[in-house]
Amino acid sequence: MKLVIGHMYPELLNLYGDRGNIITLKRRCEWRGIEAEIKAITVDTNTNFKDIDILFLGGGSDREQKIVSDDLTLKRAKNLKSAIEDGLTLLSICGGYQLLGMYYLSSDGSKLPGIGALEIYTVAGNKRMIDNIIIESSIDGKAFKMVGFENHSGKTFLQKNVKPLGKVIYGNGNNGEDGMEGAIYKNTFGTYLHGPVLPKNPEFTDILIKKALERKYGNCNLTPLDDSFEHLTQDAIINRFVKK
C-alpha cells in the first residue's frame, strides 16, 4: 500500500515545527510497511488533488497568509472543495484552518476571504491566545486526549455541518469563549494545535492515516505501534497543567 502526502505551501506555511507533522505521518506509515511519498504543493504547482491521499495545510504569518489566501481562493478553491466533499483526508493548522472557512474579519473591518469549504468564520480578537492546550476528543467512537501549543488572536466560530475536534480541558481553543477547539467536516480536520500536533498525539495521527487508507483501499486495520514515549510526553503536559 502507498499514501501520497501533499504538503501545501511548505515554503510559506511552516510555523512552530509544522513540518514535523509531515515527518510523523511518513514515519508512522513506514513503520507499518506502508510506502509514503511526500509531494510539495507550491504556488507554482498545478494540481486537482486527485493524486493526493493526505493533504496538510499549516500555519503562517499574516504576510504569508495573504499570499496563500490569494492563491487558494483564485486558483484552487473549486478543486480543493471538490476533493474535500469527495472525502480527501486533510489536516489544517491555525492560519490554514482559518483559510478553509468563509472569511477572516480583521480588526479594521476588512474581510480576507477563505475558500468556504468549512462553514466557519474567524474574527480578529483583542488579545493573543498563547498557551499550552489540552483537549478531549472523540472520533469514530475512540475517545482520547490531545495536547499542543496555541498562539492566535483570531477567534473562530463553527456554523452548521461542522463539529468541533474536541472540548477544551486547558487553554483557549477556537475562540476562548465556547470551550470548543478545532473543527471536523467529513475527513477534513482544522485545529489551532501547533507543537507540532501529530508527534505528540499518535491516536490522531493514526486516524488520519486510517481514513486515507480506507478511502483508497477500503476497510483496513492499522498495525499497533509502541506509543509509550509519546504517551509519556502527553502525560507530562497533562499533569503539569490540569488540576487533579
What string of pLDDT tens digits covers the 244 residues of the chain? 999 999 999 988 877 788 999 999 999 999 999 999 999 999 888 888 999 999 999 987 777 777 888 888 888 999 999 999 999 999 999 999 999 999 999 889 988 889 999 999 999 999 999 999 999 999 999 999 999 999 999 999 999 899 999 999 999 999 999 999 999 999 999 999 998 999 999 999 999 999 999 999 999 999 999 999 999 999 999 999 997 6
- Measured CA to CA, the distance from residue 13 to residue 226 in angstroms comes to 31
Give the per-residue pLDDT at 244.
61
Give the per-residue pLDDT at 107.
87
User: Which three three-digit cell numbers place residue 71?
Assistant: 492563491
Based on C-alpha coordinates, what's the Rg of the chain? 17
Give the per-residue pLDDT at 112.
85
Sign of CA dihedral 150, 154, 158, 162: negative
- Nearest CA to 104 among 58, 73, 150, 149? 73
- Nearest CA to 162 among 88, 102, 83? 102
Annotated binding site for substrate: 128
Give the per-residue pLDDT at 98.
94
Count how many residues are written for the chain.
244
Annotated binding site: 128
Give the CATH number of domain 2-242.
3.40.50.880
Q: Is 94 a catalytic residue?
A: yes
pTM over 0.85: yes
Catalytic residue among 7, 29, 94, 152: 94
Reported in sequence order, the residue ranges of the chain that DSSP labels E, i.e. its strands, are: 2-8, 35-41, 54-57, 89-93, 103-105, 111-113, 120-139, 142-158, 166-170, 180-181, 183-185, 188-191
Q: Is 194 a catalytic residue?
A: yes
Give the per-residue pLDDT at 67.
83
- Measured CA to CA, the distance from residue 205 to residue 79 in angstroms comes to 25
